[in-house]
Amino acid sequence: MKNRTFGSTGKQVSEIGFGAWQLGNRQDWEAMDDADAIALVHEALDKGVNFFDTAPNYGGGRSEQLLGEALLGRRGQAVINTKFGHGPEGITDYSADKIRESVEQSLKRLQTDYLDSILLHNPPFDYLDGKYGHFDILEELKQEGKILTYGASVDSSREMLELINNTKIGAMEVMFNILYQETAEAFKLAQDRNIALIIKIPLDSGWLSGKYNAGSTFTGVRSRWSPEIIRKRAELVEQVKEITGSAENLSAAALRFILAYPEVTTVIPGVRNSAQLMENVSASDKAMPAEQVKQLQALWEQKIKQADLGW
């Protein structure tokens, strides 16, 4: 597993991280046994994965709790990123005066005395310039040693630039993948400011895993896709496969595309079992050829950038 520097913290993190949304999540996934969840975290650590992304609302707080249990005695081996804004009880509240309480609760669930990073969890755009005091409070917590760095989780280059130009954040979690490359416009500036870039939704909600096609049907949050959008997405995935030659291991190719950007710090695909973990980790074995990267960038510019894919 290759490592990259986590912003200004001085820490090294695995370029393939561990998205922990599924740990303890009994609403969006078939329930994972607690013992299996803990064993999966241990297996990830043993394979060199040391970056773990969670949030208070993942599994109603169970994701943080299970991660905390798994890391007992191994906390020094892990880098933990959690969030603020969506509570374990399902309430969304971005009030700045709730940050300290949220951090304390996360520390308790994670059974640790510090967080490596904490992010505002997809807050309204108006909150990103810091005028409501969120980043002042986070800076206080940093000075107290309760967090090492802070920032926000966002989805667009416009949001990224608002943060970069108006705050002193040290980390950002951003949506970026082969089918959604818009945020790359702000990557270089983030790197210039020594801001760690955590890449979320790297497999585009499963499309870049290779398991969906034009005949796929969806329930839950994925039911937002119309039959026409499903057809468009399936056609694009086939074009991605032609470029990468990775019909049987598309997810590894999708992760390698992201890691081809030196500005990226770590990528956080979800992990539900050992097979997925092995597939994710394998993406760090080799780099994507530069010509493939250019072809996938061209695909975005020519056929995806202006398309309606129902994000």
Does residue 20 carry a pLDDT above 60?
yes
Q: In what order do the strands lie in the sheet with 171-175?
A: 18-19, 51-53, 79-84, 115-121, 147-154, 171-175, 196-200, 266-267
CA neighbor of 195 nearest in space, from 13, 4, 2, 6: 6
Q: pTM for the complete prediction?
A: 0.95
Distance of alpha carbon 197 from alpha carbon 53, whole angstroms: 13
Strands 12-14 and 18-19, by their bridges, are unpaired
Distance of alpha carbon 240 from alpha carbon 79, whole angstroms: 32
For the stretch 70-117, pLDDT in tens is 999 999 999 999 999 999 999 999 999 999 999 999 999 999 999 999
- Give the side-chain half-sphere CA count within 13 A for 227: 1
Q: Write down the pLDDT at residue 22.
A: 84
Distance of alpha carbon 159 from alpha carbon 170, whole angstroms: 15
Tokens 């585009």, residue? 204
Tell me the domain boundaries of the chain.
Answer: 3-206+250-288
Q: Please give the average per-residue pLDDT across 264-293, as a whole number.
A: 95
Q: Please give the average per-residue pLDDT across 48-73, as a whole number.
A: 96
Q: Please give the average per-residue pLDDT across 15-42, as a whole number.
A: 83
The confidence band for 248, taking pLDDT boundaries of 50, 70 and 90, is low
Q: What integer best gives the mean pLDDT of the chain?
A: 94
Answer for the pair 113, 40: CB distance below 8 angstroms, yes or no.
no
Q: Write down the pLDDT at residue 221.
A: 72
For residue 269, the 8-state DSSP code is -
* Residues listed for the chain: 311
CATH number of 3-206+250-288, picked from 3.40.50.10810, 3.40.1280.10, 3.20.20.100, 3.40.50.2300: 3.20.20.100
Q: Please give the average per-residue pLDDT across 293-302, as a whole number.
A: 98
Q: Write down the pLDDT at residue 247.
A: 60
Tokens 């400011």, residue? 193
Q: Please give the average per-residue pLDDT across 12-38, as a whole number.
A: 83
Answer for the pair 205, 178: CB distance below 8 angstroms, yes or no.
no
Strands 171-175 and 115-121, by their bridges, are unpaired
Strand, coil or helix: 198: strand
Which of 17-31, 72-86, 102-116, 250-264 has the weakest average pLDDT?
A: 17-31
Strands 12-14 and 3-5, by their bridges, are antiparallel
Distance of alpha carbon 259 from alpha carbon 13, whole angstroms: 13
Q: Please give the average per-residue pLDDT across 156-164, as a whole number.
A: 98
Answer for the pair 161, 291: CB distance below 8 angstroms, yes or no.
no
C-alpha distances (whole Å) from 186 to each of 8, 121, 283 are 18, 19, 24
Strand, coil or helix: 99: helix
Does residue 11 carry a pLDDT above 80?
yes
For the stretch 177-235, pLDDT in tens is 999 999 999 999 999 999 999 999 999 989 999 889 889 988 777 778 888 999 999 99
Distance of alpha carbon 306 from alpha carbon 300, whole angstroms: 9
